[in-house]
Amino acid sequence: MFFDMAGNFTRGLISELNRFLLNINHADCWFQAVQKYEEADRAGLLWEFADPHIELSVSRPYSLKNHFVFAAVYLLHYSNQLKKSDWKDDLPPDDKINFKLLDKVGLNWACFQEFKDSVELLHNKDFQDTTINFRHRLQHRFRSHFDFGLTPFMDRIKTENGITYAFKIIPPLDLKTLMPALYRQHQVAAKAFQAYWQLVGEMCGEWGKKYTKT
């Protein structure tokens, strides 16, 4: 069971890492290609050809972070039966798997802390600030734009005297800043995968000892 899960999770993570880099590269190529055009033409080309890839890329660090957590929780939980005499298969439903649970199931593994530290760098506060929390706004409010276009919104503010409403504007994300940030996040994801692979190797070693004894 463990080796089937590890194989499936690992292939899935590799696929997502590759898709992330492909999306960034496609977006970056279009961004570079349209620089020779006038602003009106450049805006249209970016919207049609680069925007879909950028949108996927900016959201990918968050999803990758959750993929790593999900895979590690399953593998660590199942492997904990090798280290705990009172182990029970009491993993909660998939929608309850999170960082808090990751901490709980990873305590007994030497490679765990490095893995956790590397995963925490995905979609971290610096990236959220750079993207003006794009992923959250895309899914829960209204998204900001790339290079061109303003995003107006009403901000509801609770004060001591009651409720006030303020009309605000979110500026477009500067692609000259955003593209390097996306490449850095991919590098972070690649390092997280290396840490994941070391953790999987540690668990494989423990399972190997079990089967050697039997």
CB-based contact 53:27 (threshold 8 Å): yes
**Among all chains, which residue has been given the structure tokens 């990758």?**
64
Predicted pLDDT at 155: 82
Predicted pLDDT at 213: 64
Two tokens at 178? Answer: 């955003």
pLDDT tens column, 29-61? 999 998 888 888 888 888 889 889 999 999 999
pLDDT tens column, 135-178? 877 777 777 888 878 877 778 889 888 898 888 888 888 899 99
Q: In which band, very low, low, confident or very high, does the pLDDT at 120 lie, cut at 50, 70 and 90?
A: very high
Q: In which band, very low, low, confident or very high, does the pLDDT at 214 lie, cut at 50, 70 and 90?
A: low
Give the integer Cα–Cα distance in Å for 3 and 9: 10
> How many Cβ atoms from other residues are within 10 Å of residue 3's Cβ?
11
Estimate the crossing angle of helix 175-213 against helix 112-120, to 10 degrees: 160
pTM of the model: 0.89
pLDDT tens column, 68-117? 999 999 999 999 999 888 899 999 999 999 999 999 999 889 999 999 99
* CA separation, residue 123 to residues 69, 132, 168, 210 (Å): 13, 12, 25, 37
Predicted pLDDT at 199: 97
Predicted pLDDT at 11: 97
Name, in order, each residue with C-beta under 8 angstroms of 180's C-beta and a sequence gap of 6 or more: none
Name, in order, each residue with C-beta under 8 angstroms of 173's C-beta and a sequence gap of 6 or more: 131, 132, 134, 144, 145, 146, 147
Give the integer Cα–Cα distance in Å for 50 and 178: 13
* Count, residues in the chain: 214
Q: In which band, very low, low, confident or very high, does the pLDDT at 4 lie, cut at 50, 70 and 90?
A: very high
**Among all chains, which residue has been given the structure tokens 């506060």?**
125
Predicted pLDDT at 97: 94
pLDDT tens column, 197-213? 999 999 999 888 877 76
